[in-house]
Amino acid sequence: MSTITAYKCNNCGHVNYPRHERCLNCKERDFKEIKPTKKGKLLTYTIVNELPWGIDERGRVIGVVEFDNGIRAMGVVKADKLKLGMKLTSDWEEVRFQNGEVVYGLTFR
Ligand SMILES: [Zn+2]
Protein backbone atom coordinates (compact mmCIF):
# COMPACT_ATOMS: atom_id res chain seq x y z
CA MET A 1 0.00 0.00 0.00
CA SER A 2 1.41 3.29 -1.10
CA THR A 3 0.49 6.25 1.01
CA ILE A 4 1.50 9.68 2.17
CA THR A 5 4.44 10.69 4.33
CA ALA A 6 4.31 13.40 6.94
CA TYR A 7 7.15 15.04 8.83
CA LYS A 8 7.27 15.22 12.58
CA CYS A 9 9.44 17.94 14.07
CA ASN A 10 12.20 16.55 16.28
CA ASN A 11 12.18 19.71 18.34
CA CYS A 12 8.53 20.38 19.19
CA GLY A 13 6.69 17.33 17.86
CA HIS A 14 4.47 19.29 15.49
CA VAL A 15 3.36 17.20 12.50
CA ASN A 16 3.98 18.93 9.18
CA TYR A 17 2.10 17.76 6.13
CA PRO A 18 2.81 18.36 3.34
CA ARG A 19 6.53 18.85 3.89
CA HIS A 20 7.84 22.31 4.69
CA GLU A 21 11.43 23.50 4.76
CA ARG A 22 11.03 24.59 8.37
CA CYS A 23 8.61 23.44 11.06
CA LEU A 24 5.44 25.56 10.91
CA ASN A 25 5.40 25.75 14.67
CA CYS A 26 8.98 26.33 15.82
CA LYS A 27 11.01 26.88 12.57
CA GLU A 28 13.37 23.97 13.19
CA ARG A 29 14.59 21.95 10.18
CA ASP A 30 14.97 18.55 11.76
CA PHE A 31 12.21 16.06 10.93
CA LYS A 32 11.36 12.43 11.28
CA GLU A 33 9.25 10.80 8.56
CA ILE A 34 6.02 9.26 9.78
CA LYS A 35 3.15 7.46 8.07
CA PRO A 36 -0.53 7.94 8.83
CA THR A 37 -2.07 5.32 11.04
CA LYS A 38 -5.00 3.39 9.66
CA LYS A 39 -7.62 5.16 11.76
CA GLY A 40 -8.57 8.76 12.20
CA LYS A 41 -11.44 11.09 12.83
CA LEU A 42 -13.35 13.42 10.57
CA LEU A 43 -12.49 17.07 11.24
CA THR A 44 -14.44 18.75 8.48
CA TYR A 45 -15.93 17.93 5.11
CA THR A 46 -17.48 19.43 2.05
CA ILE A 47 -19.76 17.93 -0.56
CA VAL A 48 -18.62 18.62 -4.11
CA ASN A 49 -21.39 18.45 -6.69
CA GLU A 50 -19.54 19.89 -9.66
CA LEU A 51 -16.95 17.22 -10.23
CA PRO A 52 -14.10 17.40 -12.73
CA TRP A 53 -14.25 15.23 -15.81
CA GLY A 54 -13.23 11.68 -15.06
CA ILE A 55 -15.24 11.19 -11.89
CA ASP A 56 -18.37 9.20 -12.49
CA GLU A 57 -20.42 10.19 -9.47
CA ARG A 58 -23.22 12.58 -8.63
CA GLY A 59 -21.54 14.14 -5.67
CA ARG A 60 -18.45 13.44 -3.70
CA VAL A 61 -17.59 14.07 -0.08
CA ILE A 62 -14.14 15.52 0.46
CA GLY A 63 -13.09 15.39 4.07
CA VAL A 64 -10.18 16.41 6.24
CA VAL A 65 -9.23 13.61 8.58
CA GLU A 66 -6.89 13.70 11.54
CA PHE A 67 -5.10 10.40 12.02
CA ASP A 68 -4.40 9.02 15.47
CA ASN A 69 -0.78 10.20 15.26
CA GLY A 70 -1.70 13.78 14.39
CA ILE A 71 -1.32 13.79 10.60
CA ARG A 72 -4.08 15.67 8.84
CA ALA A 73 -4.92 14.80 5.27
CA MET A 74 -7.65 15.32 2.72
CA GLY A 75 -9.42 12.47 1.00
CA VAL A 76 -12.66 11.06 -0.35
CA VAL A 77 -15.11 10.06 2.38
CA LYS A 78 -17.34 7.10 1.57
CA ALA A 79 -19.88 6.97 4.34
CA ASP A 80 -23.67 7.09 4.33
CA LYS A 81 -23.98 9.30 7.37
CA LEU A 82 -21.54 12.09 8.05
CA LYS A 83 -20.80 13.38 11.48
CA LEU A 84 -17.89 15.55 12.61
CA GLY A 85 -15.57 13.59 14.83
CA MET A 86 -16.72 10.23 13.48
CA LYS A 87 -14.09 7.47 13.36
CA LEU A 88 -12.90 6.49 9.91
CA THR A 89 -10.55 3.92 8.46
CA SER A 90 -8.27 4.93 5.62
CA ASP A 91 -7.45 3.19 2.37
CA TRP A 92 -5.40 4.01 -0.69
CA GLU A 93 -7.36 3.31 -3.82
CA GLU A 94 -8.57 4.44 -7.20
CA VAL A 95 -10.28 7.83 -6.96
CA ARG A 96 -10.50 8.99 -10.55
CA PHE A 97 -9.57 8.33 -14.13
CA GLN A 98 -7.46 10.99 -15.82
CA ASN A 99 -5.74 11.06 -19.22
CA GLY A 100 -6.23 7.35 -19.61
CA GLU A 101 -4.72 6.53 -16.24
CA VAL A 102 -6.15 5.57 -12.92
CA VAL A 103 -5.34 8.07 -10.18
CA TYR A 104 -5.03 6.78 -6.64
CA GLY A 105 -5.77 8.71 -3.51
CA LEU A 106 -6.78 8.52 0.10
CA THR A 107 -10.27 7.31 0.91
CA PHE A 108 -12.04 7.00 4.25
CA ARG A 109 -14.97 4.91 5.31
ZN1 LIG B 1 8.81 22.24 15.56
Distance CA 91, CA 105 (A): 8
What pTM does this model have?
A: 0.72
Q: Are 60 and 51 in contact (CB under 8 A)?
A: yes
Question: How many A from CA of 3 to the centre of ligand 1?
Answer: 23
Distance CA 76, CA 92 (A): 10
Q: Report the Cα 43 to chain-centroid distance in Å.
A: 11
Question: How many A from CA of 6 to the centre of ligand 1?
Answer: 13
Give the mean pLDDT of 62-79. Answer: 91
Question: How many A from CA of 102 to the centre of ligand 1?
Answer: 36
pLDDT of residue 1: 47
Distance CA 28, CA 74 (A): 25
pLDDT of residue 77: 95
Question: How many A from CA of 45 to the centre of ligand 1?
Answer: 27
pLDDT of residue 89: 94
Distance CA 8, CA 34 (A): 7
Question: How many A from CA of 22 to the centre of ligand 1?
Answer: 8
